[in-house]
């Protein structure tokens, strides 16, 4: 079932006051509002709905929303095993631990989370939904903003070097004393031959 179709069916069975309260609870749940866990969200929704049909359409809507959000993730295709007796190089990525990213540490939003948030905001504004490219753009913008914010905080608190007028590196490294350090061009080269 499509998300817009599930949303339309849900809106048809809800009146305006219940619909507004429903989207308020849904927004709070996706914004990680303090105290709004999944169990609390389910309890408030069950208390809000008056009949079983509303609950069925709610479940269909959430299922369609989460399926759409996670459909952008592509699972790794299974490796094809070639049993012809030939030597096959192992994929090194199978043995390397996955890199830790901000999204996996819950510091930065991931694509399914952003997709749900964008679609809910679009529906509250009366739109039918949002394209998946918007989600990718928003995730990239959040990651870029967090990188710039972290860099600004670190550079404000600690010393650093600048290369090519842009690239900042060597954060929190001790500065060399210019009177004791000798650079490559200041080296003393003897003009006299020391050999006999």
Q: β-strands 161-163, 167-169: how paired?
A: antiparallel
Q: Classify burial at 24, counting beta carbons within 10 Å of its beta carbon; exposed 0-12, middle 13-18, buried 19 or more.
A: middle
For residue 190, is pLDDT > 50?
no
Q: Which of 43-47, 95-99, 124-128 has the lowest mean pLDDT?
A: 95-99
Is residue 140 within 8 Å of residue 152, measured between CB atoms? no
Residues in the chain, total: 196
28 SS3 class: helix
Q: How confident is the model at residue 168 (pLDDT cuts 50, 70, 90)?
A: confident
Provide the 10 A C-beta neighbour count for residue 143: 15
Specify the pLDDT at position 100: 59
Burial string for 79-106 (b: 16+ CB within 10 Å, else e) reads eeeeeeeeeeeeeeeeeeeeeeeebeee
Specify the pLDDT at position 161: 76
Mean pLDDT score of the chain, rounded to an integer?
77
Give the CA dihedral 175, 181, 187, 188, nearest 10 degrees: 170
The domains of the chain are located at 3-71+104-174
Q: Report angle CA 146, 147, 152 to the nearest 5 degrees.
A: 95
* Beta-ladder partners of 21: none
Q: Mean per-residue pLDDT for 75-84?
A: 60
Is residue 172 within 8 Å of residue 156, measured between CB atoms? no
| pTM higher than the cut 0.95 | no
Q: Mean per-residue pLDDT for 15-19?
A: 87
More confidently predicted of 109 and 185: 109
The token pair at 96 is 């390397």
For residue 72, is pLDDT > 60?
yes
Residues 6 or more apart in contact with residue 20 via CB below 8 angstroms: none
More confidently predicted of 148 and 101: 148
More confidently predicted of 106 and 21: 21
């Amino acid at each position: 079932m499509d998300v817009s179709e599930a949303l339309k069916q849900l809106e048809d069975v809800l009146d305006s006051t219940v619909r507004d309260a429903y989207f308020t609870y849904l927004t709070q749940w996706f914004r990680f509002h303090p105290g709004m866990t999944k169990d609390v969200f389910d309890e408030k929704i069950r208390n809000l709905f008056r009949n079983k049909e509303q609950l069925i359409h709610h479940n269909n809507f959430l299922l369609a929303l989460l399926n759409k959000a996670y459909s952008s993730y592509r699972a790794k295709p299974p490796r094809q095993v070639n049993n012809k007796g030939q030597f096959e190089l192992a994929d090194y990525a199978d043995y390397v631990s996955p890199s830790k990213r901000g999204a996996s540490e819950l510091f930065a939003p991931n694509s399914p989370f952003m997709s749900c948030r964008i679609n809910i905001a679009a529906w509250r504004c009366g739109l039918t939904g949002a394209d998946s490219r918007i989600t990718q753009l928003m995730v990239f913008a959040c990651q870029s903003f967090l990188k710039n914010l972290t860099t600004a905080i670190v550079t404000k608190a600690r010393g650093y070097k600048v290369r090519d007028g842009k690239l900042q590196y060597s954060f929190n490294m001790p500065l060399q004393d210019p009177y004791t350090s000798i650079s490559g061009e200041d080296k003393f080269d003897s003009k006299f031959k020391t050999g006999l």
